[in-house]
Copies of this chain bind each other. A is one copy, B any other.
């Protein structure tokens, strides 16, 4: 299925070279101020442009098809569509015969039994993340007082991300990257133990972004080599403020009021100009394939805002849930 969230529900649709991609947001409360301009800043972050990012260029104009009236959400589903205009399906025809290493070409064939739209990777395309970003913009409006800061820490193992990308691209290759997201201003108590834990929901949304291979919170994988006396965050006051933040702001699945810190590893994009070993699906023989299309050399710079949006979607969903729990039944 293609929906995410219990109360703020996001459904993505579309294919890279079909007529459009879009997103349906269900559960948006009525009365939220919203205009098409509100999407511009985050869509621009996703659109990128610097050296090493795809040359595909689209205006990414959000066409709001429903759920908006006189500049405010109505409370009914918000449908936002982005038309596909700059499509060149011919670029991709060869990959049905020569599946790309590291790409979903073969897995898609198994999943959809050969019926998937192969043009530009169809529904698997990073193009669909424009809908994630749009959903994130609305989600952030449901999180007043919450701020996000998202950094590309490194690419190809280097802090100079731009240089790493340019070198990789010049070599017909690509590089992986590391992104860190900080969320400030969350009230404590979001999430719950087990399935709806804050890490579970955030990780689910983050791993849904194409190319993510790892997600960690606070001290992350370093905890495996730590002692409890090092990792536990000393508590400073009754509000739960802590001296350090090895927990990344989450205990037992529940936000503790400190900054939420999550790091994400993006793999290097799989479509590269360098020839790679694959199989000829017509003959079954070994072959080589080169993906000389319009591809990003690194996912971090354009993907950062997508990861941030994924986090915002989860937090908005849990913030709506918290309205239910915060009932005036009684106090102990």
Contact = CB atoms under 8 A, between A and B. Distances in A.
A213 B219 contact: yes
Interface in A213-242: 213-238, 240, 242
A261 B228 CA distance: 27
Interface residues of A, number: 166
A177 B224 contact: yes
Interface string A91-118: 0000000011111111110111111110
A183 to B, nearest CB: 15
B177 A254 contact: no
Interface stretch (A35-43, A45-53, A66-74): A66-74
Nearest to A73: B115
A148 interface: no
A285 to B, nearest CB: 10
Interface in A191-220: 191-197, 199-201, 203-208, 210, 212-220
A81 B65 contact: yes
Given A128-B194, A223-B267, A265-B224, A234 B199 contact: no
A68 to B, nearest CB: 8
Contacts of A154: 224-225
The listed residue with most B CB atoms (<10 A of its CB), out of A191, A236, A286, A325, is A325
Contact of A235 (B124, B196, B208, B279): B279
Given A208-B195, A229-B274, A279-B235, A331 B69 contact: no
Interface string A249-293: 011111111000000011111111010111101001010000000
B331 A277 contact: no
Interface string A1-43: 1111011011111110011111010110111110000000000
Contacts of A162: none
B65 A232 contact: no
A14 B66 CA distance: 5
A157 interface: yes
A326 B113 contact: yes
A243 interface: yes
A16 to B, nearest CB: 10
B31 A115 contact: yes
The listed residue with most B CB atoms (<10 A of its CB), out of A111, A192, A215, A219, is A111
The listed residue with most B CB atoms (<10 A of its CB), out of A20, A156, A219, A253, is A253
Given A1-B27, A76-B112, A111-B189, 15 more contacts: A4-B194, A10-B195, A20-B65, A76-B193, A99-B235, A106-B251, A110-B189, A111-B188, A113-B331, A177-B224, A194-B208, A199-B207, A200-B207, A224-B265, A234-B277
20 contacts: A14-B79, A30-B113, A32-B330, A69-B117, A72-B115, A106-B240, A107-B188, A107-B250, A110-B254, A111-B325, A113-B189, A173-B227, A176-B226, A200-B205, A203-B206, A204-B204, A213-B220, A213-B223, A222-B265, A231-B268
Interchain residue pairs A-B with the least CB separation, the first 6: A104-B252, A157-B225, A102-B232, A110-B189, A214-B216, A30-B115
